[in-house]
Amino acid sequence: MKLEAITGTKKVVTGNHAVSYGVLLSRAQVIAAYPITPQTQIVELLSEFCATGLLKAKFIKVESEHSAMSACVGAAISGVRAFTATSAHGLALMHEMLHWAVGARLPIVVANVNRAMGPGWSVWTDQNDSLSQRDVGMIQLYCESNQEVLDTVIQAFKIGEKVLLPVMVILDAFVLSHTSEPVDIPSQEMVDNFLPPYKPQHYLNIEHPASYGGLTNPDHYFEIRIKIEMAHRAALKVAEEVDKEFQEKFGRGYGLVEPVNCDDAKVIIVTSGTITGTAREVIDKERRKGRKVGLLKIRLFRPTPRERIREILTRAEKIAVIDRNISFGHSGIFAQEIKSILYNEPRRPPIFNFIIGLGGRDVRPEDIEEIIDYVFKKDQPTEDFTLRGVRL
Amino acid sequence: MRQKLKRKRQELINKDFSPKRWQEANQIEELMNPGHFACPGCGGALAMRYALKALGKNTIVVIPACCWSIIDGPFPLHCLKVPLYHTAFETAAIMASGIKAGLEIQGKGDISVLAFAGDGGTADIGIQALSGACERNDDIIYACYDNEAYMNTGIQRSSATPLFAWTTTTPEGTPKGEPKKNMVEIVAAHRIPYTATCSVGFPEDMIAKFKKAKEIRGLKYIHIYAPCPTGWRMAPDLMIKVACLAVETCLFPLYEIEEGIRYKINYFPKEKLPVRDYIRIQGRFSHLREREIELIQKKVDFEWDLLKKRAGLSGG
């Protein structure tokens, strides 16, 4: 197998393999991973790439996800580009080391296939796994299509390496991970032209023997933490620039958020992941019916493009946030986020929250139509969130 | 009786354990600066000092949560003359493996990566990652400095705490009821190229073993006997003595295992001392009655005989 034969061409690939191609073209140098459904195909294909020499990387077949992330931290601090992929319980097991990667300011890329948490065991999609990692400080990007998955992996390395933060690229279980779509796989030359080799600012250097991550007393810790926050602020601008450059070089861009028909929309639906694709269809249909409905896709969840979201949403009369997740005892997580962003605005449209599709329950166009009908009929939400498609 | 014990203890303290063996070690280049944060008489601090003397400058050290998280000094201080990476409690082995993989892909595979963990980080919380690294035979040196309890958090029992020992979680009246986990045998069962024990009381043996480990590819596991005066409830000036007595009583024999099967005992005491001599100078065992000491003696004799058999069977 030659690299030229499988890149620089259009192929029909699954979301998982789109990740693998993205990692191949990004020339990851150390990969460490542990199998978990529905992620496993990502690392299976990467194993093949490494075995055939297409990808000149060390692949450490670790004994747990905790070790997968630890190995990536070790590799990154030695000065190389590191990657791992996981899902659900694997991500939960990594949790401690996600904090470590952030605190150590290492630009590791983690692909997470959104899968529901057990028990009962579920391999199907929802967002509670990645959203449970909201506060570790990683950049989080939610993808809608397999093309976006591949492109976002390449962008993720560039964003992470510019601001020194780890980046999570997120795709829905099965709806993307195991579903094939035509994907434009760029040539290595194009990707090299976009993503230069990783040049670490800090690494374990025999010539300059320093200690990293040691005991940090209250005189220093606060500042170091706030520098992570500053990196997140910088990441907003960097992510935008990187996406713009990507658009120029590859002819495809996604934005940090994507407004669809929002300019004159009375109701704006907020989505993330593959529900966005379904919502696009519904919006078109509703528009044809004469209803002024818009869609806001959240791609970059952390750092949150707050300004941009405010700018778009404050123009609407009503907002409907669709969450494929739940923060038990509160509400949907995206809805909480949107509410907090708009709270201090003089113009605050009512925000409806819909929780739908947990554990991979199908989210159909009809569900979104019903949501739109519901919001159009009501002036104000009458409950903290509304459940859709649940039998109680 | 009490007077007799006191006299016996003093005799032991005064006994000469050949200071000559330190002279040679002291002449090798120091890669550890003075002014570290260890307690007086820390076996763990000395263990690092000897390990680095053997491995030299071309070494990267990985430290999980353990006493060494403190000993190296708080940010921005650093007492070693080699790079050090602090990591989470259970990750010493895999962190070293990750670093080594990164170095190898950059053509810097000649750098030794030393994971340096305590007994809790090795035998308890870190055993999974260590077993994984052993099974993959990652090219790292894993050293466990064994002070037989969670000393950094204030003397809580670990699975490496010996039978009948006092700790803050095995308090007076309920000493530890289980024997010490045998990490050396567990690790050797992975058939890694090199497994060895050493004691900070025997620097020449320890340095030789680390030097040997440096030249071997694959996973090297070295279990260092590193007494903790603070946690073992004894005077700091007894640390070396206890480290020697553990070996002289055959409670902690010095041996090595190649490929997990070829045993070699590196030190045979001229006169095998009774474990009582070792036990009676440590406060953590002060509650022990004679029959408990006898039981420990029986166990030590059994293990020593077993080890000799193993070494004999494999021609060591």
Strand partners, A112: A86, A170
pLDDT at A1: 72
Residue in A with minimal Cα distance to B132: A63
Q: Phi and psi of B221, rounded to 5°?
A: -115, 125
Cα-based distances in Å from B301 to A148, A238, A274, B292: 67, 67, 67, 14
B154 in a domain, yes or no?
A: yes
pLDDT at B316: 47
Inter-chain CB pairs, A–B, below 8 Å? 155
Judging contacts by C-beta atoms under 8 Å, the chain A residues touching residue B127 are: none
B3 in a domain, yes or no?
A: no
Instruction: Say yes or no for a CB contact (<8 Å) between B97 and A214.
Output: no
B8 in a domain, yes or no?
A: no
Provide CB contacts within 8 A for B122, sequence distance 6+.
Answer: B92, B130, B142, B144, B146, B160, B183
pLDDT at B198: 98
B9 in a domain, yes or no?
A: no
Which residue in the set B81, B99, B135 is minimally distant from A209, CB to CB? B81
pLDDT at A281: 97
Q: In terms of residue numbers, what domain contains B164? A: 15-313
Distance of alpha carbon A131 from alpha carbon A123, whole angstroms: 17
Task: Give the burial class of B16: count Cβ atoms within 10 A of its Cβ; 0-12 exposed, 13-18 middle, 19 or more buried.
Answer: exposed
Q: Among A10, A8, A80, A16, which residue's Cα sits nearest to residue A43? A: A16
Question: 3-class SS at A392?
Answer: coil
Per-residue pLDDT tens digits for B252-299: 999 999 999 999 999 999 999 999 999 999 999 999 999 999 999 999
What chain A holds in terms of domains, given with CATH numbers, is 3-250 (3.40.50.970), 257-388 (3.40.50.920)
Overall domain count for chain B: 1
Per-chain mean pLDDT for chain B: 94
Cα-based distances in Å from B172 to A207, A296, B155: 50, 65, 13
Q: Directed axis angle between helix B127-136 and helix B92-105, to 10°? A: 40
B1 in a domain, yes or no?
A: no
The CATH number of residue B172's host domain is 3.40.50.970
pLDDT at A35: 98
Residues of chain A with pLDDT under 70: none
Instruction: Say yes or no for a CB contact (<8 Å) between A71 and B101.
Output: yes
Which residue in the set A32, A82, A210 is minimally distant from B83, CB to CB? A210
To probe the interface with A, which of B94, B97, B108 has the most A CB atoms within 10 Å? B94
Task: Give the burial class of A174: count Cβ atoms within 10 A of its Cβ; 0-12 exposed, 13-18 middle, 19 or more buried.
Answer: buried
pLDDT at B9: 56
- SS percent in chain B: helix, strand, coil, step 5: 45, 15, 40
B306 in a domain, yes or no?
A: yes
Strand partners, A139: A167
B122 in a domain, yes or no?
A: yes
Judging contacts by C-beta atoms under 8 Å, the chain A residues touching residue B90 are: 66
* Residues written for chain A: 392
Task: Specify the residue for token string 């002291």.
Answer: B26
Instruction: Say yes or no for a CB contact (<8 Å) between A66 and B91.
Output: yes
- Tell me the residues of chain A between 360 and 389 that have a Cβ less than 8 Å away from chain B: none
Q: Please tell me which residue, B16 or B137, carries the higher pLDDT value.
A: B137
Instruction: Say yes or no for a CB contact (<8 Å) between A217 and B75.
Output: yes
Distance of alpha carbon A63 from alpha carbon A76, whole angstroms: 19
Instruction: Say yes or no for a CB contact (<8 Å) between A67 and B87.
Output: no
pLDDT at B22: 75
Cα-based distances in Å from A121 to A43, A89, A125: 22, 10, 12
Q: Pairing between strand B59-63 and B112-118?
A: parallel
Instruction: Say yes or no for a CB contact (<8 Å) between A209 and B80.
Output: yes
B4 in a domain, yes or no?
A: no
Distance of alpha carbon B25 from alpha carbon B17, whole angstroms: 15
Question: Cis peptide leading into A303, omega within 30 of 0?
Answer: yes
Per-residue pLDDT tens digits for B67-95: 999 999 999 999 999 999 999 999 999 99
ipTM value: 0.97
Residue B15 has pLDDT above 90, yes or no: no
Residue B13 has pLDDT above 60, yes or no: no
Residue in A with minimal Cα distance to B110: A206
Which residue in the set B83, B108, B138 is minimally distant from A209, CB to CB? B83
Which residue in the set B74, B81, B128 is minimally distant from A215, CB to CB? B74
Distance of alpha carbon A341 from alpha carbon A304, whole angstroms: 9
H helices within chain A, ranges in order?
3-6, 15-25, 40-51, 65-78, 88-103, 128-131, 146-163, 188-194, 221-250, 275-288, 306-313, 333-342, 365-377
Question: 3-class SS at B294?
Answer: helix
Which residue in the set B73, B81, B99 is minimally distant from A78, CB to CB? B99
